[in-house]
Amino acid sequence: MGDLHGSSSRSAPAGVTPARWTPESWQARVAAQMIDYPDRQALDRAVTKLSALPPLVTSGEVERLTELLAQAQEGRRFLLQGGDCAETLVDCRPDKVTAQLKILLQMSLVLVHGMKKPVIRVGRFAGQYAKPRTSATETRDGQTLPSYFGDLVNGAGFDLASRTPDPDRLLAAYQHAAVTLNFIRALIDSGFADLHHPENWDLRFMEHAGLRPSLRAEYHRMTQQLAEALRFMEALGDGSVDELSRVEFFTSHEGLNLFYESAQTREVPRKSGWWNLTTHLPWIGERTRNVDGAHVEYFRGIRNPVAIKLGPDADPADVVRLINVLNPDNEPGRTVLVTRMGATKAEKALPSLLAHVADSRRRVLWVCDPMHGNTRATDGEIKTRHFDDILQELEMTIDAHTRIGTNLGGVHFELTGEDVTECVGGSGGVTEADLTSNYESLCDPRLNYQQALEMAFLLARRLAK
Ligand code: PEP
Ligand code: CO
């Protein structure tokens, strides 16, 4: 690590003089989940190439999202963040991308209608290619190989060639992220008018025999109201269909592979500071948020808003220290805290955390990820999550915020617009026996289209209260 000159534009917390930051200063720190590239020269070549390529997003877009997040911190907007656990290179296909945008847009309309406030849409896409793993290696039938760390790092196949970290994947992932984002931008530009008609949505879950009649009636009522509200908007005047269908989307991914993140971190003309221009909203995972670690060192130097995942063992005092390091000037819209406690732990872990951060007067946006604390394995060793656990964590989190007087400003889901069978439950009635029929995720189980839409209805109903 270099010299100890404090950076002039930032005030450090009392007693701490941060060393000089550069996009590469993280390399002197210990990195959890560090990727061990055997061919360092190939890594250098790939990083050099990646650094020279154009950015995927602009600093202006990042500033816009920061402003919106600042409004969400004040309770004036709500964040909906969602997408795959892990994107894969082979799934960079038009049908998949369209399905993802569609479900996020439909959920957002349901939430807007229920909450009567604008929703910020952020996809886990166009770069969500790196995965932290519980174990660095995996053993099958006596053979031990590196774990699969996502397509940005290595291949999922269980053989040495696939599992060896390959620096050329930094470029392949960047290219796939670019293609994905290009298609997303094109879809947004051409409008989503038809998606504003709930009569075109797939609402089969509402007709399922197992659904309680009172809930069915309520879903129908909400859908009708939503359809009427949208027709009313359309009828308001010329061009409003277009206006209405031109929606904003932002991108996010876990900033796990710091070679990728730092290669695309740059200064821009007439603005101060450094920007990670691979994505609008990078996040720090639960396993890499050590305040002295490489990831926090990297993230403290960029101007993007940064989200931090917080599990049930997060120590409230550590969290405040982390916020101070990442956002020393307490700037609005810059810090997003994503709690992912699990339905069995949320009630105990949340109140002290919420209260401690509130007492510190740090400006944060509280978001609930009800997925990552609720993963379990079936008897047949299939990773799944139960719809009811997910809903329960959301409800517990809403209650905890109400009790402490803080504001739940967003939600974070792993979901897909397709008809997969990875999570169980929901009115569509996916059971454990169904899981093998269409299980696609290489990492965590996602809500399918019906489950995600129903979750939005239940959440909107709950937050409307
Ligand atoms: C994820 O979001 O896919 C993830 C791994 O989350 P966490 O860091 O919260 O476990
Ligand atoms: Co996940």
For strands 365-368 and 78-83, give the pairing.
unpaired
**Residue 4 — very low, low, confident or very high, per pLDDT cuts 50/70/90?**
very low
Determine the pLDDT at residue 5: 34
Paired strand residues for 265: 276
Range of the domain at 181: 32-193+247-464
- Cα gap 84→73, rounded to integer Å: 25
340 Cβ closer than 6 Å to some ligand 1 atom = yes
Residue 145 φ then ψ, to 5° = -135, 165
Determine the pLDDT at residue 206: 83
Tokens standing for 455?
Answer: 């979750």
373 Cβ closer than 6 Å to some ligand 1 atom = no
- Please check whether residue 208 lies inside any domain of the structure: no
Helix ranges restricted to H, 116-212: 160-163, 168-190
- Please check whether residue 319 lies inside any domain of the structure: yes
3-class DSSP state for residue 147?
coil
Domain count, the chain: 1
- Please check whether residue 325 lies inside any domain of the structure: yes
- Per cent of the chain over pLDDT 70 is 93
Among the residue ranges 74-88, 170-184, 195-209, 216-230, the one predicted with the least confidence is 195-209
Residue nearest to atom 10 of ligand 1 (CA): 286
Average pLDDT over residues 177-189: 94
- Please check whether residue 224 lies inside any domain of the structure: no
Contact present, 193 and 245 (Cβ < 8 Å):
yes
CATH of the domain at 434: 3.20.20.70
- Please check whether residue 126 lies inside any domain of the structure: yes
422 Cβ closer than 6 Å to some ligand 1 atom = no
85 Cβ closer than 6 Å to some ligand 1 atom = yes
- Please check whether residue 235 lies inside any domain of the structure: no
- Please check whether residue 125 lies inside any domain of the structure: yes
**DSSP code string of 291-329:** TTSHHHHHHTTB-S-EEEEE-TT--HHHHHHHHHHH-TT
- Residue 142 Cα to ligand 2 midpoint, Å, equals 27
Determine the pLDDT at residue 442: 87
Determine the pLDDT at residue 237: 64
